[in-house]
A and B are shown apart, each in its own frame.
Chain A
Amino acid sequence: MVNPSLLIAVPLAFAFSIPLFGLVSKKIGKYIPVVALLINVGISFILIPQILKKPAVVSIGGWSPPFCINLVVGPLGVFLVTLISSIGLLVAIYAISYIKEEPTEKYHMLFLLLITGATGIVLTGDIFNLFVFFEILCISSYALVAYNKDKEGTEAAMKYLIQGSVGSSFVLIGIALLYGMFGTLNMADIASRVTSADPTFLFISLAFLITGFGIEAAVFPLNAWLPDAHSSAPSSISAILSGIAIKTGVYGVARMIYTIFNADGILTFIAFLGLLTLLIGEMSAFRQNDIKRLLAYSSIGQIGLIVFALGIATSLGVFAGLFQIVSHALAKALLFLAAGYMIYRVGSKSIDSLSGLGRKMPLTSFAFTIGSFSLIGLPPFAGFISKFSIVYAAIQVKKPIFLVFVVIALIATVIEAGYFFKVVQNLYFKEGKNVDNVTETSGYIIVPMIILVISIIVIGIHPQFITGLLKGAAGELLGRTGYIGWVLGGS
């Protein structure tokens, strides 16, 4: 069995080796993330079948939990790691020729650090360690948002940083409160003793944690950084932020609520929050004329849908939410990658200026179309399965309030359909104004997009590829006793 800690160690090690390789040759740097993530993808794919059979708990330093920092590689962890490293790999390939602004090795280093952070978040079993990885993710993403050093980027990074710092401070306060109550930092340990604590204090700690992770997860009132950061970052980073970073926030929220606190009472509120996020995201996206900002708001909406599905809290609901994570990660990464290169070729972010690109950049436009169709939830793409499952899960709980919720969610889908279809029409059916000497992309740009398109279609047509894994992951989130059992042994 491969040691899962390699998943964190490899990108970390490669990240810091980039400047060293830079001494040898300037050109090597951009290939390093690809190599690192290839290794990661390989490891995670090897791990999947093993983990599904038996979850692994890796203790650092040889002590047994709860007395050490440990990695818990359950189905959820391995699923998210696979997702993170796959999306990361594709974006890394894309970035090989997309990132031109010097100093590129810093970009690649930060990028790998971001991946490290994300991987660490989903794998760690220690709550403070979670915070540390969270900070790694956040700091590298602040820096990456400002990577282009232009007016918008720095402004967005500044705002992102302020909100993010407040958020991580809240996380830390929550952790401090937890530690004060239980005297341990191991999540399984906390979870096993959570009933012994004063519920009010417990809830205050949960509130701080939800708020803190909620900022990264971009739940409604906490998501003001997202449109700015996503729209101003380099497109590869937007793809990563949208595809991975906010998912880790969602993971944090879910882990806190389901596993640690077992806070059933708040789930309906969380679902409502998700719904609100969905609505506000889609409404705000509707009037956008900036393609990346539109995609960013759409991300908010989709995150709302994920949170909504997780809030349903049945095994099917969580399954649907996780499926939505996959389909959204694939589709949104694809959309940002495609849009990024279109913007690069055209030189403008406004939707109107993308008119007529269907003729000039057929593959990119096609990729964009598939991505948006999948997001809207049209068969036979991946988004359809997740949307169907979410609706099914929401109706299946047979609570009247969820019926109302699902109707509103479906209406939000119509709004989403409205603006995405408009963009697709813009690409294909409108006369372009100054797109005469625009040419199709090639090489490293097009490969990840093609892979994403194929995987969207394949998952849409044959969802069984991932349903097993997702079922296991959903089981892990809902079955907290199982989780405690893996980590602490016995019980």
Chain B
Amino acid sequence: MSGIYNWMYYIASGGLILIGLYIVLVKTNLIKIVIGLNFIDTGINILLICIGYVRGRTAPIFSRPGISPANVVDPVPQALVLTAIVIGVAVLALALSIVIKVYQHNKTLNVTKIKGLKW
């Protein structure tokens, strides 16, 4: 039981990534695809977090008393996730704005119909 418990975050993140990939692969609506990308992003963020997380340890804030380097979690992944979230937001914003433009030009959000560029 505890094995699954230990791996739960990994499974969740993997699940999110796979759901995102499924959306990107299968869904034809652009907005949905963008959401799928976000799913992937989120999944990866969770993955990063759980890589750095050690059960039962605390945040590495050394100004608080009683904190020794031995019982803190790794702070780096959290920093990474913050960056990744920022990047994800930027991509999302850009993606949505481009989707709007695409819709203006094509009057549709169905990617199978937006095939002006091929071959």
Could you list which residues of chain A lie within 8 angstroms of chain B, going by C-beta atoms?
Answer: 128, 132, 135, 139, 142-143, 146, 149-152, 154-159, 161-162, 165-166, 168-169, 172-173, 176, 179-180, 183, 185, 227-228, 231-232, 284
Contacts and interface: CB of A to CB of B under 8 A. Distances in A.
Contact of A146 (B21, B41, B51, B101): B101
Interface string B62-99: 00000000000010110010011001001100110011
A139 B44 contact: no
Given A132-B87, A179-B77, A155 B44 contact: no
B116 interface: yes
Interface of A is mostly: helix
Interface residues of B, number: 36
Nearest to A138: B91
Given A165-B91, A179-B51, A185-B76, A172 B117 contact: no
Given A146-B98, A149-B101, A161 B91 contact: yes
A162 B37 contact: yes
Contacts of A185: 76
Given A158-B102, A161-B95, A185-B76, 6 more contacts: A149-B101, A154-B101, A155-B114, A159-B117, A165-B41, A169-B44
Contact of A142 (B33, B76, B84, B94): B94
Contacts of B98: 142, 146, 154, 157-158, 161
B91 A139 contact: yes
Contacts of A142: 91, 94, 98
Contacts, number: 93
Nearest to A288: B119
Contacts of A154: 98, 101-102, 105
Contacts of A135: 87, 90-91
Given A151-B116, A172-B44, A284-B119, A180 B51 contact: yes
Contacts of B83: 128, 132
A84 to B, nearest CB: 21
A443 B117 CA distance: 33
Contact of B106 (A139, A155, A284): A155
A173 B101 CA distance: 30
Contacts of A168: 87
Given A151-B105, A154-B105, A173-B44, A165 B37 contact: yes
Given A165-B95, A179-B77, A227 B117 contact: yes
Contact of A151 (B20, B37, B41, B106): B106
A158 B52 CA distance: 33
Contacts of A139: 87, 90-91, 94
A228 B105 CA distance: 16
10 contacts: A139-B94, A142-B91, A146-B98, A154-B101, A155-B105, A155-B106, A155-B114, A158-B99, A166-B40, A284-B119
Nearest to A166: B24
A139 B86 CA distance: 12
